[in-house]
C-alpha cells in the first residue's frame, strides 16, 4: 500500500515538474528512469539526426577525399541548408531534455575533478567563441575557435557517431555536426 502511495506521489511530482519546467536532478529527486534508459533515449535522438543528415547528404554528389576548397565549401553549404530546412521546427532540448541534461551534469561532475572543471570553465569563457550564437539549427561560425575537448570527458560521455562533435562554448555543451557545422542541440550551464 505504502509503495503504491509513493508511486502516486512520484507521478504527481513528475507531472508538476514537467509543467513548471523545474529540472529534476538525479541524486536529489527520486527519478524513475535508469541511466541506461536515459542513454538509450539520448542515442536514439542522436541516431535519428545522423540518419536524417546522411539521407540528405546522399542526395548530394559525394565529396572527394582530394577535394578543392571550392568543392568543400559548396558541399558544406548545400548539406547545411538541407539539414536546416529539414529541422526547421526543432527547438533546444530535442536531445538534451531536462533528464538527459541532468545526467550529463552528473557524468561531468563524477568524471572530471573540481579543479579540472574550474580550468575548463576558464578556458571555455576565454576561448575565441564570442560570436557563436547559441541557437539550434544555426551554424557554428567557421572563424570561431573549437575548444579542445578533454579526452577524459570524451571517454566518460556517451560516444557520438563520427558525424557529430561535443563542443564547449562558454558554459554550454553543444552537439555540432562536424561537416555542415549545424548546432544540433545544446545544454546551457554544462560545467558544474
Candidates 8-16, 48-56, 158-166, 184-192 — which segment interacts with another protein by CB under 8 A? 158-166
Smallest gap, in angstroms, from Cβ of residue 118 to another protein?
A: 14
Q: Which residues ranging from 60 to 119 are in contact with another protein (CB under 8 A)? A: 63-73, 76, 116
Candidates 24-32, 33-41, 130-138, 178-186 — which segment interacts with another protein by CB under 8 A? 178-186
Cell output for 72 = 568543400
Residue 143's contacts (CB-CB under 8 Å, 6 or more residues apart) are 131
Among 145, 188, 189, 192, binds another protein (CB under 8 A): 145
Is residue 149 close enough to count as binding another protein by CB under 8 A? yes
CB neighbour burial string for 58-75, b if at least 16 within 10 angstroms, e if fewer? eeeeeeeeeeeeeeeeeb
Angle at 37 (CA atoms; ends 99, 191), nearest 5 degrees: 40
Angle at which helix 35-57 crosses helix 69-86, to 10 degrees, equals 120
* Contacts to another protein by CB under 8 A: 63-73, 76, 116, 142-143, 145-152, 154-155, 159-160, 162, 165, 178-179, 181
Amino acid at each position: 500500500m505504502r509503495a503504491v502511495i509513493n508511486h502516486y506521489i512520484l507521478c504527481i511530482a513528475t507531472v508538476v515538474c514537467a509543467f513548471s519546467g523545474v529540472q529534476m536532478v538525479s541524486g536529489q529527486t527520486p527519478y524513475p528512469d535508469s541511466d541506461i534508459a536515459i542513454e538509450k533515449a539520448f542515442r536514439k535522438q542522436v541516431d535519428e539526426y545522423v540518419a536524417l543528415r546522411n539521407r540528405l547528404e546522399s542526395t548530394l554528389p559525394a565529396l572527394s577525399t582530394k577535394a578543392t576548397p571550392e568543392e568543400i565549401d559548396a558541399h558544406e553549404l548545400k548539406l547545411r541548408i538541407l539539414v536546416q530546412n529539414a529541422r526547421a521546427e526543432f527547438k533546444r532540448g530535442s536531445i538534451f531534455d531536462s533528464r538527459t541534461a541532468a545526467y550529463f551534469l552528473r557524468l561531468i561532475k563524477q568524471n572530471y575533478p573540481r579543479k579540472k572543471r574550474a580550468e575548463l570553465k576558464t578556458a571555455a569563457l576565454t576561448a575565441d567563441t564570442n560570436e557563436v550564437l547559441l541557437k539550434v539549427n544555426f551554424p557554428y561560425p567557421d572563424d570561431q575557435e573549437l575548444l579542445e575537448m578533454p579526452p577524459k570527458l570524451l571517454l566518460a560521455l556517451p560516444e557520438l557517431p563520427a558525424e557529430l562533435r561535443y563542443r564547449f562554448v562558454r558554459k554550454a555543451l553543444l552537439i555540432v555536426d562536424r561537416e555542415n557545422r549545424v548546432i544540433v542541440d545544446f545544454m546551457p550551464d554544462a560545467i558544474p
